Amino acid sequence: MNIFLRELKANLKSLLIWSAIIILLIFMAGAKYSAFAGDPELLNMLDSMPPALLDALSMSAFNLTTISGFYGVMFIYFALMAAIAAAIWGSDSISKEERDKTVEFSLVLPVTRSRVVTAKALAALVNCVVFVLITWVMSLVAVRSYNPDQAFYNFLALEMEAMFAIELVFLAIGLLLGCSMKQYKLSGSAAIAIILTTYFMSIMAVMNENLDFLKYFTPFKYFDAGELLRTGKMDGMYLLISAAIVVACVAAAYWFYNKRDLYI
Amino acid sequence: MSIIEVTDLTKYYGKARGIVGISFNVEEGEIFGFIGPNGAGKSTTIRLLLSLIHPTNGSAKVFGKDVVAHGPEIRRDIGYLPSEVYYYEGMKVIDLLKYSASFYNCDCTQRMHELSETMELELNRRVSDLSYGNKKKVGIVQGLLHSPKLLFLDEPTAGLDPLMQRKFFDLIRAENARGVTVFFSSHILGEVQRLCTRVGIIREGKIVEISNIRTLQQNNYKKVRVTAEGLTPGSFDLPGVTNVQVEDGMVNFFFKGDINTVLQKISAIQVADVTIEEPTLEEIFMHYYE
């Protein structure tokens, strides 16, 4: 419990910064939407754009002049931010102890390494939950003036669930990187590299039919906003794959951290 | 009972040598000095005993338990003062000490305040505002507050002023008098000589000598100085005599062997002054390193 609480406190600053960024994003987007709302000319303009471009920007599935459609386009930005924040929280909470050399204090205490990983992972998880809730609440505030219908609220809830699922996947990946990599400087960059790679894979999977198989390798495609809007639910198989990734990464994280030498 | 038993302990960092085939025991209640130059493997040995790193080969037991299998259990009764202390920068000293205390089954508040008072530590300052020496004081209090049975000190006096060093040594002696075993790693021989009963000398990852400080000094070279008129470098041309230096009618040399042969030689001369001394640990140490 003491590690968990200390960790929460230490993570607070990072959570506040990320929250400020996403709140800014939500309100800037809200201001932008006010220009699109109910504007038929925009639709005509979008229709004249090359379909490949719309695919790349994941805009083809949505009607930008409705709030649901607009939030569908926004989802990928939420997802990217959530992924980056979660991965950094996961990897940093472990690797910062070695970076700051506090590991010679914190792991000479009578604690098992597993207990340390558990406490830190839970603290990072709390950050993830709070981050989603803030995104959710701020979105509700931002769209209030457009009087959205129940369908929008349902879609928003689904998006937030998907955002949380993405956070879980990248939190687990970040945790694994932090626990397994002795070179603490690399674990954060490795996490970002994985996020960007999987993000571009998700774009390639849409743009090129031959690369369609890539969709199985990128969590961004597991929770595609267009599909969420169309089907109204998350795909069971992708949820299963996500759960498998999370379990595998977390198990591997514990295994590596118990086995490896700490970098002092 | 041996508090520490190290058997053929080996650690390689990739291909780089840490320590190779080290074996030694530390008995309950003793202050064991562990001396060697930088990079000899002193810190590596301590980190292996604390299970911060895992051995490549061999094994080590503390309190009769294997360090790899029972690390957390063993560490309940261990205090550790690293050569450089690093704590969470944003925390206040008092919060850090309370945090540390919360991991041990003890009410350490009173002891914490006593120790802080002895070491003149200001509890309300932030760790990030502390000087190197003050951080070291935090380390001393933090390492001792749970009344450990075994203390690991890794070059503990660096950064402490002479006054604090003395207080620190008094503290360690008092702990030792209570029955605490101390593993004292250092390259400053004077302090090892003052404090320790037994020493292990480590060099390039290997133990070159383990013995009592007294026997180490007795079985070693004697330093002989003779003042008399008309002495030449050849005056003491005996087996066992080395390092002969002559200046102003004074001959200095090291001697190892039957001291009577030297005494007979001296008694044949009209001398003004004679001293025969045991070498300092420093001089023995240099001998091992040459």
Q: Is the pLDDT of residue B280 over 80?
A: no
Asked if the Cβ–Cβ distance from B85 to A105 is below 8 Å, we say yes
Decide: residue B143, CB within 10 A, 0-12 exposed, 13-18 middle, 19+ buried.
buried
Contacts of B127 (CB under 8 A, 6+ apart): B87, B88, B89, B90, B91, B92, B93, B96, B135, B138
Residue A240 has a pLDDT of: 95
The pLDDT of residue A136 is: 95
Query: Tens digit of pLDDT for each residue in B94-149?
Result: 999 999 999 998 888 899 999 999 999 999 999 999 999 999 999 999 999 999 99
B103: nearest CB among A100, A102, A109: A109
Q: Inter-chain contact B72–A264, Cβ cutoff 8 Å?
A: no
Burial of A247 (0-12, 13-18, 19+ CB in 10 A): exposed
Q: Does the CB of B54 have a partner CB in chain A at under 8 Å?
A: yes
Q: Sorting pLDDT into bands at 50, 70 and 90, what band is B290?
A: low
Domain boundaries, chain A: 2-259
- Taking CB atoms and an 8 Å cutoff, what residues of chain B touch A111? 72, 103
Cβ-proximal residues to B287 (8 Å cutoff; 6+ apart), any chain: B220, B221
Task: Give yes or no for residue B232 having a pLDDT over 70.
Answer: yes
Q: pLDDT, tens digit, for every residue of A39-76?
A: 777 777 777 777 777 776 666 667 777 888 888 888 98
Q: What is the mean pLDDT of residues B184-190?
A: 84
The two three-digit tokens of residue A165, written as one number: 């699922």
At B288, the pLDDT band (50, 70, 90 cuts) reads: low
What is the per-residue pLDDT across B254-272, written as a single tens digit (0 to 9) for each? 888 788 888 888 888 888 8
- Examine the pLDDT at B219 and tell me if it is beyond 90: no
Contact with chain A for residue B101, Cβ under 8 A: no
How far is C-alpha B1 from the geometric centre of its chain's CA atoms?
21
**Cβ pairs bridging A and B (under 8 Å):** 56
CB-based contacts of B144: which residues, under 8 Å, 6+ apart? B79, B111, B115, B151, B171, B175
- Show the tokens assigned to B28: 């309950």
- Beta B198-203 vs B206-212: how paired, if at all? antiparallel
| Cβ atoms within 10 Å of A101's Cβ, excluding its own | 15
Of all residues in chain B, the percent with pLDDT exceeding 70 is: 96
- Are A83 and A195 in contact by the 8 Å Cβ rule? The answer is yes
Residue ranges of chain A whose pLDDT lies below 70: 56-61
pLDDT digit string (tens) for A232-259? 888 899 999 999 999 999 999 999 999 9
pLDDT score of B211: 85
The pLDDT of residue A26 is: 92
Q: Contact A100/B50, CB-based, under 8 Å?
A: no
pLDDT at B194 over 70: yes
> What local confidence, expressed as pLDDT, does residue A263 receive?
86
Residue A57 confidence (pLDDT): 67
Chain A, nearest residue to B56 by Cα: A261
What local confidence, expressed as pLDDT, does residue A190 receive?
92
Q: Find out whether B58 and B8 touch, Cβ atoms under 8 Å.
A: yes
Mutation site, A109, A260, A264, interface B, largest B CB count within 10 A: A109
Residue A52 CB coordination number (10 Å): 12
With a pLDDT cut of 90, the percent of chain B lying above it is: 55
Given a cut of 70, whether residue B281 has pLDDT beyond it is no
pLDDT value at position B289?
Answer: 60
Q: Mean pLDDT over residues B35-60, rounded?
A: 92
Residues linked to residue B26 through DSSP beta bridges, in sequence order? B4
d(CA B80, CA B49): 11
Mark yes or no for CB contact A6/B82 under 8 Å: no
How far does B123 lie from chain A, in Å, by closest CA?
A: 18
Which of B10, B67, B87, B135 to mutate: most A Cβ within 10 Å? B87
Using the predicted structure, report yes or no on whether residue B33 has a pLDDT greater than 90: yes
The contact set of A with B (CB < 8 A) is 2, 6, 10, 100-105, 107-112, 259-262, 264
Sequence-separated (6 or more) residues with CB below 8 Å from residue B1: B27, B28, B64
For residue B55, what pLDDT is reported? 95
Cα–Cα distance for residue pair B244/B251, rounded to 1 Å: 7
